[in-house]
Amino acid sequence: MTDYRRLRVALLGAGAVGSQVASLLLKHGDELADRAGASLELAGIAVRDLDAPRDVELPRELFTTDAESLITGADIVIELMGGIEPARSHILLGLGSGADVVTANKALLATHGPEVFEAADRVGASVYYEAAAAGAIPIIRPLRDSLAGDRVVRIMGIVNGTTNYILDRMDSEGADFADVLADAQRLGYAEADPTADVEGYDAAQKAAILASLAFHTAVPLDAVHREGITSITAAMIEEAAAAGFVIKLLAVCERLSGDDSESISVRVYPALVPRSHPLASVHGANNAVFVEAEAAGSLMFYGAGAGGVQTASAVLGDVVSAARRHIAGGVGVGESTRANLPIVSIGHVTTRYQITLEVADEPGVLATIAGILSDGGVSVATLVQTVAQTEEGATAHLIIGTHRAPDSALSAAVDRLADSGVVERVVSVLRVEGE
């Protein structure tokens, strides 16, 4: 066996991902050493509870509750604890003690990314986070390295498996949101408290990470527009299907070009995606990231966006990279945020919309609605009307497809429609992406 230099690896956390990382590191140590050019010694695993059950069997003597001592003697720190503290302090301690850091912590990077990257820059170390945006799917390295010579125009990502699972089952079974969510919780696809997933918080963190990389601009989490999927109904899914669309929760990161300036938009919302688009065929809890770049054209990255062992694959890839860098020496490559593009609010974003209204089936109603939209700068592309006879009289159901319009104009026009006296109910307003 080659006599490699030994690197000490500190693992923080042995939960769903950490336990798998430890197991694979121990099992494939020799192979990883050949790839890394260094022998990777798992020096210890910091946890909260030494007696907690683990997903895989691991040597008990590796476990410790003294994370700090473990970190200060390490060449590579793998942070898989999650949350902000003490993960943040531990990462800063690791960088300060000369270690390279591998983390899958999207919550931390989306909120404290600049602080962590600055700390790495100060000491010439590197932070690797392939698993933080889409689990096992390689997307960080493609954006940071493979596409470094190109200009990314747009990213559309299905980056949350729980919401994709829910929307996909609603689409294939005609089921209601609440029923599928309850089932997803029973099957372990959704947490007991599903807020982070169904309200789009998890996807927003990933969008901030992807946009920062793609546009060389630090994107704070509060600059990401966020809407969840709790208001999506079986009827909306059925209507979307009839019009040739599927509803997906998308993280959209977009470069907007003005006459002589550029800006970016970063947003998460449920959108209508044409059934012919590659993202429409992402089923179940899978994730996919669709990248459009000026020279490369369209690229699609697809696979498991979560799962302990799947995510461990991305983490170990980072560990090998960190080991290679450590052995090669020199200064780590920092984050590129030099473009520093302005981030626009959702009001400036231009898309097509589908507006569904319930209106009284009376003469003049259509003309009033078309007038309100047109006065508000929103032009109608398609209109489908169906009439339902109820005990109170006839109610018309209108599905209006618009041409592209700024979000601010559209929402002001929809407010005016709601107050117009001719609209009984604004059933839904959905944006169209991926045409």
List residues binding ligand NAP (CB under 6 A).
13-18, 46-49, 52, 67, 80-82, 86, 104-106, 131, 135, 306-308, 311
Nearer Cβ to ligand NAP (33/224): 224
Rounded to whole angstroms, the Cα distance separating 198 from 182 reads: 12
Nearer Cβ to ligand NAP (220/307): 307
Q: Cα(first)–Cα(last) distance of the chain, in Å?
A: 55
Is the Cβ–Cβ distance between 78 and 9 less than 8 Å? Answer: yes
Residue 259, judged by CB atoms within 10 A of its CB (0-12, 13-18, 19+), counts as exposed
Report in angstroms how near the CB of residue 41 gets to ligand NAP at its nearest: 20
Nearer Cβ to ligand NAP (196/426): 196
Report in angstroms how near the CB of residue 262 gets to ligand NAP at its nearest: 31
HSE-CB of 310 using CA atoms within 13 angstroms: 15
Report in angstroms how near the CB of residue 80 gets to ligand NAP at its nearest: 4
HSE-CB of 346 using CA atoms within 13 angstroms: 15
Report in angstroms how near the CB of residue 269 gets to ligand NAP at its nearest: 22
Q: How many residues appear in the chain?
A: 435
Please say if 206 is a catalytic residue: yes
Nearer Cβ to ligand NAP (278/307): 307
- CB neighbours of residue 175 within 10 Å: 16
Report in angstroms how near the CB of residue 219 gets to ligand NAP at its nearest: 18
Nearer Cβ to ligand NAP (46/372): 46
Nearer Cβ to ligand NAP (111/356): 111
Tell how far CA 144 is from the center of its chain.
16
Is the Cβ–Cβ distance between 345 and 222 less than 8 Å? Answer: no
Nearer Cβ to ligand NAP (88/226): 88
∠248-317-34 over CA atoms, to 5°?
A: 155
Crossing angle (nearest 10°) for helices 177-187 and 161-173? 130
Q: Phi, psi (5° rounding) for residue 428?
A: -165, 155
Report in angstroms how near the CB of residue 214 gets to ligand NAP at its nearest: 19
Rounded to whole angstroms, the Cα distance separating 166 from 163 reads: 5
Considering the candidates 27, 106, 206, 248, report the single residue annotated as catalytic: 206
Sign of the dihedral defined by the CA atoms of residues 375, 377, 381, 385, in that order? negative
The residue with its CB nearest to ligand NAP is: 15
Report in angstroms how near the CB of residue 98 gets to ligand NAP at its nearest: 22
Closest CA to 284 of 391, 164, 426: 164
Instruction: Give the DSSP letter string of 233-256.
Output: -HHHHHHHHHTTEEEEEEEEEEEE
Catalytic residue list: 206
